[in-house]
Every structure is written in structure tokens, then in C-alpha cells.
Amino acid sequence: MNKKFKLTYILHYPLGVDNNSIYNLDLLNTYFSLISQNFNVSLVGTKIKKDFYHNSLLTNRVNSILLSKKSNKNIIKKTSTTFKAIRSSDVCFLFMPSMSAVLAGLICFIVRKPFVTYFGANWHDLIITNNPKRVLEANFKKWFSNFLSRNSIFTLHTGKGILESHKGNNKYLTSPIFNLSTELFYQRSTYKDLLKSSTIQILFVGTLSKNKGVSYLLDALAIVNNEKITLEIIGDGPEKDNLKNQAIKLGIASQVYFHGFISNGPEVFDFYKKSDMFILPSFSEGLPRVLYEAAGNGCPIITTPVNSVPYLFKDNYDCIFIKPGDKLSIANAINRLIKESRLNKTLALNAYKTVEPILKEKAYEQHSRLIQKYLKKHEML
């Protein structure tokens, strides 16, 4: 490129502030650092007090324009700040679903500023899954999603079903932004017969919040009542102490290990490689990174078919689907993987085949390439 163009991201999550330092999620921080090699990157969003998931000091390679939670709720201040950031940029990048992205998209449309929209989930389905009665709101936000999709220079979608549910041209499948690629993948050569094995390791990776459904996983472990099983829990969050107390009350504390937060990378991947099954019993998700990580490291998956998940994975092909909030459903799935010796390998190999094509190119490489392709097409390079 002859010059670095200004690329402005409209964030759908808050950045953390502590002693005037700004913190980001480590995986997104890596993404922004890498894509800033080709663009002058600015982030527009909200700032809050640093929380446990803000685990990486914001790279000094990007600029940030952040509003406090109070200012973010002031539509005049929010609109003014977003408008100024968009006017000074060459291309905008909107994360959906979020109302911040809708506001930015409307401004881009009015001032004729080119923008890209990244759809991490189907907004309509997210709303209906959480509350089937909110049909009017779901349809309203579906209209907004399609408005952005139709008017973007191109759109990015983290699953085939999400892509097919949106209108517009120049639609692309993309890997979620977590810097995972096939070069980090691991394929197992053998799988244990869990019925005969002396140990069975179950893995959960994620935030310890109520919507993740970990309490039901603990209940299911007590129902299965198999002393060979250990549950490795990686992550932190507001429900950690409650979950520890629950494990004690259920009499399974000796089988449950809370490892706390572990930065994404080789140490976490080792847990996937050594585990006999990965369970994500969430009530709501976008398209969780952990499912890609489990699939890419040969770990059989048990999960709930919520939101974007069934757009990528299929029950009894590359995973086992369980009912959200149903401890018996989880217990039955665990017992099934233990008793059906060949199922583990079949699910894991199919899951690998499912995610491999999506992760052949890292997200920042694909996004940078497509934006540059657009700039070149319109003789801006």
C-alpha cells in the first residue's frame, strides 16, 4: 500500500481501564496489533473498570476513542463521538450484533463512508432464543441487520447459517477473531475406550457466569456418579465461589478442579489434547471460540444447540447436542460417550473436518486482504 489508510472499528464490547491504562481481551488485542501492520487502526467503544476478562494491555499500535458508561448512554454524546470518528476514517468496521454498530452504520450510510460488517451471530435468533415472546424486537433488529448487510462493501459471517440469513452481496465466511489457524491444530491418532479406561477427563473452558450453565454440568457429574471422571474447569467469573460450594454440597469436590483463568495458547490447548470430552452447556452463545479449539485439538464435543452453534455443528455428526439447563441431558450425553467406544473418534474427526476449511486463513489476514481488494477496486490504493 502507498499509505496506511484509517480503519475504524466500532466495538461491541467494553475495554477495561485501570490507573489510566487500557486493557483488552488478549485474542482481540493480538488481532488489532496484527491488522495495524497494514492500517492506522482506531477503536471506538465504551470503557469500564478493568474486569477479569480484560487480560491484555491495549497495544500502542492502535488509537482508542472511549466513552464512559454514562456518556455511552447519552445518545447525543455517543452520536457526536461516533460521527467524528467515522468522518476522520477511510473505512469503518462494524461488529454485529450491537446497537452501536447500527448507529455507526446509519452514520456511514448518510455521510457515504464505506463500511464492513462482521456478523458474529444472527441477532434475530439470539433474541428469540432468550425470549420467544420478543418477536417484534427480533424482527426489528433483523431489519437493521439486513440494512447493514445490504449497504456494506462486503460482509463477514462466522457460520454458513448466519451468512445465508442475511441479504446483500459480497458475503464471506470468516473465522471468529481469535487468531487460531490450522497450523496450531492437533489430530489424535488414538482414542481411549472410556468404558475400560481408569481415568476420564472432562473439560470446560469459559467464563464462570450463569449463562454458561456450569452448575448443571456439576449436577450431571453427580448423577453420572463415576469416580473415574475428573472435571477440569478453566476460567474465572462471578459464579466461581458458588460453583465451588455446589461441588462440595454434591460430594464431588475431589473430582472438580478449578484452574482459574489461563491465557489462550499452548497451555490451554494441552488441556484439550488430554481431555476425553469437552462440554459447553451454555444458554446463549455467539459462535464460541472454545468449540473451534476443541474441534481443532481432537476433543469430542458436547454442547447446546443455541444461537449460532447449530449453523456450524450437527448433532450426532461432529458433536452431541444437549438441552440447555437439563442436567439429565448432560448426564446421558456423558454416559453415551463412555459406553459407545467408537463415537468419540467419529465425532472428533468430523468436527476437525468441519472447522478446518474456515480456519485455513487467519481472520486478520482475510480482513486485511478483502479491505485492500476493495480499496484497489475503487482506485484508492
* CB atoms near residue 210 (< 10 Å): 12
Separation between Cα atoms, residue 256 and residue 232, nearest integer Å? 6
My answer on whether 310 and 373 are in the same domain is: no
224 and 289 inside one domain: yes
What is the domain count for the chain? 2
Query: Residue 1 has what pLDDT?
Result: 45
Q: Looking at residue 18, what is its pLDDT?
A: 93
Asked if residue 193 and residue 44 are part of one domain, the reply reads no
| C-alpha span between 252 and 231 (Å, rounded) | 10
Q: What CA–CA distances, in Å, run from 141 to 13, 170, 300? A: 18, 21, 35
Whether residues 149 and 37 fall in one domain: yes
For residue 368, the domain's CATH number is 3.40.50.2000
CA distances from 148 to 33, 221, 260, 280, 330 (A): 26, 44, 39, 31, 38
The rounded radius of gyration (Å) of the Cα atoms in the chain is 22
Provide the pLDDT for residue 181: 57
Burial of residue 352 (CB within 10 Å: 0-12, 13-18, 19+) is: buried
Crossing angle between the packed helical segments 343-355 and 327-339, to the nearest 10 degrees: 110
Q: Are residues 104 and 222 in the same domain?
A: no
Same domain, 207 and 125: no
Verify that 53 and 114 share a domain, yes or no.
Answer: yes
pTM above 0.85?
no
Judgement on whether residues 334 and 305 belong to the same structural domain of the protein: yes
Cell of 282: 451454555
Q: What pLDDT does residue 128 have?
A: 79
As to burial, measured by CB atoms within 10 angstroms (0-12 exposed, 13-18 middle, 19+ buried), residue 164 is exposed
User: Are 317 and 368 contained in the same domain?
Assistant: no
Q: Which residues contact 25 (CB under 8 A, 6 or more apart)?
A: 13, 53, 54, 55, 56
Provide the residue type at 359 as one letter: L
Q: In what order do the strands lie in the sheet with 301-303?
A: 256-260, 229-234, 200-205, 277-280, 301-303, 320-321
Range of the domain at 201: 182-355
Q: What is the mean pLDDT of each run of 10 residues along the chain (381 residues)?
A: 81 92 87 92 95 85 94 94 96 95 97 94 79 90 96 89 88 76 71 93 94 95 96 94 97 96 83 95 80 91 87 92 96 96 93 83 88 78 49
Torsion angle of the four alpha carbons 340, 341, 344, 345, in this order, in degrees rounded to the nearest 10: -140
State the pLDDT at residue 146. 96
To 10 degrees, what angle do helices 214-224 and 240-250 make?
Answer: 10
Is residue 221 domain-shared with residue 135, that is, in the same domain?
A: no
Which alpha helices (H) appear in the chain, and where do they start and end? 26-35, 69-72, 75-87, 99-111, 123-130, 135-151, 160-164, 214-224, 240-250, 266-274, 289-296, 309-312, 327-339, 343-355, 363-377
Task: Looking at the structure, tell me whether residues 133 and 188 fall in a common domain.
Answer: no
Domain match, 332 and 372 both: no
